Amino acid sequence: MSKIISLAKRRGFIFQSSEIYGGFGSCYDFGPLGVEMKNNIKKAWWDEMIKNHENIVGLDAAILMSPKVWQASGHLTAGFADELVECKSCHKRFRADEIKSQKCPECSGPLMTPRKFNLMIKSFVGPLEDEAATTYLRAETCQGIYVNFENILNSMRLKIPFGIAQIGKAFRNEITPGDFIFRTREFEQMELQWFCHPKDAKRYFDFWQKERLKWYLNLGIKKENLRIKEVPEKEQPHYAKQALDLEYKFPFGWKEIEGIHNRGDWDLSNHSKYSGKDLRYFDEETKERYFPYIIETSGGADRSFLVFLCDAFQEVKGGRTKTTKAVKEIEILLKLHKDVAPIKVAVLPLVRNKPELVKKAKEVYQLLKPHFVCQYDELGSIGRRYRRQDEVGTTLCLTCDFETLKDETLTIRYRDTMKQERVKISDLINILKEKLNV
């Protein structure tokens, strides 16, 4: 794991938040390559929901909401609290479900009895810090969807079954954040809420778990690193009728990456009760009025990011090329799916001491830049530059060499096979669009 973390920092994927001040509370910043890759993940999810499925619409709700929302949802009561244990000696705090003995894992001191710890992060709006001004940073994005159920239903003239998809930030005052960006206090969720008739809930629960698994597989995640775990009833969240976790085999063990829940009518019936608005759905054909059941798929953009990084990371001892001095080095290869890779194309002049070659390569770079996320690199030997691109998962490298100056062709080099192919510059945009599927 430490190698992945160090690559992420060294190559501009992820930095610790406020690093020059010693970091802050397990928060992270996504650097130049990180932001591209995270945007790619979010786009892949968004396209999957909005383009590949029917009857799903999007939403971008505010992070700050009326505190009444969190009363209705159960987040302010015991429902959204972890059991916390504190060490009597060193006062470190741990999640009770992660403690295996009666002793503090840090100093072996005695532990206090577990107590509930609410994970909502409190804040205040307006000039006064009093009860009336209290608000919370949302702990899950889906509440914005439930409170807009009626707005969306009416404005989009939808019929059950339909879905609402949303990507956005969520905040939890986690007791034990950690494992890099696996569990942080500020993170992004990608959530689909699927509204259906109660009699169809089981069928859609099964349908969506298969769809979600397929999404990860289609983006290249290895099958053997994914599994589905039924969540036993006593461990299910307070709102769930049925729950399962999609898990990934991280270097630190099998862990949840996405939760799939049958939330029943918990959310809409509670929001009806607390707001006084009847949020039941009226079926024009059957004349039935009912609370739809909600099937939720709740994944994390940051956690998926870590999945893609871990799954793609490879170290090749001795290097892949046997013709250069690199033979004795360890080469890093990031085998990211082309849709996820932060840089799609790198343009490289074979050498940089030939002005005509540099000029030509820069022209190619300018030609491609409006179409693809591109990088130009002329520093170091060509082999070293290929490895630098392999390390960040760049899908294709384009090299301008002496032949380019004669016949307006260049080579495309494929990251995973290192195979090279010669193409005409005039055909380049179309060829790349086809290869990269953009």
CB of 63 to ligand ATP, least distance (A): 15
Pick between residue 295 and residue 400 the one whose CB is nearest to ligand ATP.
295
User: Which lies closer to ligand ATP via its Cβ, residue 176 or residue 275?
Assistant: 176
Query: Nearest approach, Cβ of 258 to ligand ATP (angstroms)?
Result: 5
Least distance in angstroms from the C-beta of 275 to ligand ATP = 23
Q: Name which of 176 and 409 has its Cβ closer to ligand ATP.
A: 176
Look at residue 189 and give its three-state secondary structure. strand
Beta bridge partners of 248: 226, 255
- CB nearer ligand ATP, residue 40 or residue 143: 143
Distance between CA atoms of 20 and 150, rounded to whole angstroms? Answer: 46
Q: By Cβ distance, which residue is nearest to ligand ATP? A: 300
Least gap, CB of 19 to ligand ATP (angstroms): 19
Nearer to ligand ATP, 79 or 383 (CB): 79
Q: Distance between CA 313 and CA 413 in Å, rounded?
A: 20
- Considering beta carbons, is residue 118 or 189 the nearer one to ligand ATP? 189
Q: Which two tokens stand for residue 435?
A: 């290869």
Q: What are the b/e assignments for 171-196, b being 16+ CB within 10 Å?
A: bbbbbebebbbbbbbbbbbbbbbbbb
In angstroms, what is the C-alpha Rg of the chain? 25
Strand (E) or helix (H) holding 34: helix 32-50
Which residues bind to ligand ATP, rule: CB under 6 A?
A: 172, 174, 183-184, 187, 189, 256-259, 298-300, 302-303
CB of 364 to ligand ATP, least distance (A): 40
Strand order in the sheet with 226-230: 56-59, 162-171, 186-196, 293-300, 253-264, 242-250, 226-230
Identity of the residue, 119 or 436, whose beta carbon is nearer to ligand ATP in the bound complex: 119
Shortest Å distance, C-beta 183 to ligand ATP: 4
Helices 2-10 and 301-312 cross at an angle (nearest 10°) of: 100
Tokens of 353: 């001491």
* Cβ at position 298, least distance to ligand ATP in Å: 4
